[in-house]
Amino acid sequence: MIIDAFIHRLERFAVLSPEEKAAVRSACSSTRSLPPRFELLRQGESTTGTNLILSGFACRYTMLPGGRRQITAYLIPGDLCDVRACMLDGMDHSIGTLSPVEVAQLSHDSMLELTQRVPGLTRAVWWSTLVEEATTREWVLNVGHRTALSRTAHLFCELFSRMHAVDLTHQNMCEIPITQSDLADALALSPVHVNRTLMKLRALKLATFRHQHLTIHDFKGLQEVGGFDPAYLRLEDPSPFSEVRRPGASPPPRPDHAETTML
C-alpha cells in the first residue's frame, strides 16, 4: 500500500506512534479516482487542500503560446501535490494527470489538524519541497546541457530511483503509465526525437521503455550516459541496485531545534 511508503517517508523526521500512524491513515481515507488528462489545478487558481497521489502519474506543467507544453515535474505515488499553493494567491502553473490517478483528498483543515497531531509532518512536507526544488534545478541542467540521449537516460534514472523508493519496482522493471509525447514534453524534445532516442537506448542495451513499462538493462551504464548523481533526491538508499537494502543503519541525523523554527 502506498500510504505505507508515505508514512515511511514521514518516519525519517519523527518517531510515529501507532495512533499517529492511524491518524495519517484515516486522514487519507477520502479518495477520488481521476481520468487521464484531467486538470487537477489550473494556472491562476487557488486551492483549499492538497492531494496525496495513491496510484498513477500526474505532472506540473505550463502551456506555452503555440500549444506546446512543458512539464516541470512528474508527480508519482506518495507525492503530495501542492501543499504550498495555499501560501500564494494563485498557481503559476497547472497540475494534471497523465494516467488514471487515485488521490487521497486532504482538506486544508485536516492538514492543520494532522500537523498538530504528527509533529514531524510539517518538517517532512517542507523537506519534500526542498527535494522538489533540487529536482527542478536538475531538470534545468538536463534540458540545458545534455544531449537527447543523455537527457533521457537521466530522466529514466531519476524515475526508476523514485519509483524504487516507494517500492513500485519489480526487479529491474517498473510501470511508467505515460506516453512518449509526455516524455517529450518533460525532456523538451519532439515526440519524434524521443522515439529515436528510445530506440537508441534499447540498441545500447541500457533501457527499454515500451508499453508503459520501463526496463533497466544496465543501470550503471545508464547513469554514466545520463550523468546521473542521485544525491539530489536524498533517498535513503541512493541506488536502486545496491547490493544490500537498508543495512540496518539509522536515518541521517537531523538538528532537533529545526522542529520549532523551520530555519
Partner DNA sequence: CGTAGCCTTGACCGCCCTCAAATTATGTGG
Partner DNA sequence: CCACATAATTTGAGGGCGGTCAAGGCTACG
Residues of the shown chain interacting with DNA in the complex, contacts defined by CB under 7 A: 147-149, 151, 179-181, 188-193, 195-196, 198-199, 210-212
Closest CA relative to residue 207, chosen from 259, 172, 234, 181: 172
Does the footprint of its own copies cover residue 234 (CB under 8 A)? yes
Cell (9 digits) for 115? 500537523
With CB cut-offs between 5 and 8 Å by kind, which of DNA, its own copies, none does residue 125 bind? Answer: its own copies
Of 14, 134, 149, 173, the residue at the interface with its own copies (CB under 8 A) is 134
Does the footprint of its own copies cover residue 86 (CB under 8 A)? yes
Nearest approach in angstroms of CB 58 to its own copies is: 16
With CB cut-offs between 5 and 8 Å by kind, which of DNA, its own copies, none does residue 192 bind? Answer: DNA
Does the footprint of its own copies cover residue 139 (CB under 8 A)? yes
Find the part of the chain contacting its own copies (CB under 8 A) among 28-36, 82-90, 166-174, 237-245.
82-90
Sign of CA dihedral 47, 22, 13, 54: negative
Whether residue 243 contacts residue 170, with contact meaning beta carbons closer than 8 Å, is answered with: no
Does the footprint of its own copies cover residue 137 (CB under 8 A)? yes
Of 15, 244, 249, 263, the residue at the interface with its own copies (CB under 8 A) is 263
> Reduced to 3 states, what is the DSSP secondary structure of residue 72?
strand
Residue 192 to residue 67: CA distance in whole angstroms: 17
Closest CA relative to residue 182, chosen from 207, 206, 214: 214
Instruction: Render 192-217 in DSSP notation, one character per residue.
Output: HHHHHHHHHHHHTTSEEEETTEEEES
Does the footprint of its own copies cover residue 203 (CB under 8 A)? no
Between the alpha carbon of residue 101 and those of residues 33, 36, 52, 171, the distances in Å are: 6, 7, 10, 24
With CB cut-offs between 5 and 8 Å by kind, which of its own copies, DNA, none does residue 63 bind? Answer: none
Of 18, 247, 248, 252, the residue at the interface with its own copies (CB under 8 A) is 252
Of 143, 191, 205, 238, the residue at the interface with its own copies (CB under 8 A) is 143
Burial category of 244 from C-beta neighbours within 10 Å (exposed 0-12, middle 13-18, buried 19 and up): exposed
Nearest approach in angstroms of CB 200 to its own copies is: 20
Cell (9 digits) for 117? 497531531
Residue 215 to residue 62: CA distance in whole angstroms: 29
Instruction: Render 131-147 in DSSP notation, one character per residue.
Output: HHHHHHHHHHHHHHH--
With CB cut-offs between 5 and 8 Å by kind, which of its own copies, DNA, none does residue 84 bind? Answer: its own copies
Residues that bind its own copies (CB under 8 A): 60, 62, 64-65, 68, 70, 72, 83-84, 86-90, 92-93, 108, 111-112, 115, 122, 125-127, 129-130, 132-134, 136-137, 139-141, 143-145, 188, 227, 231-232, 234, 252-255, 257-258, 261-263
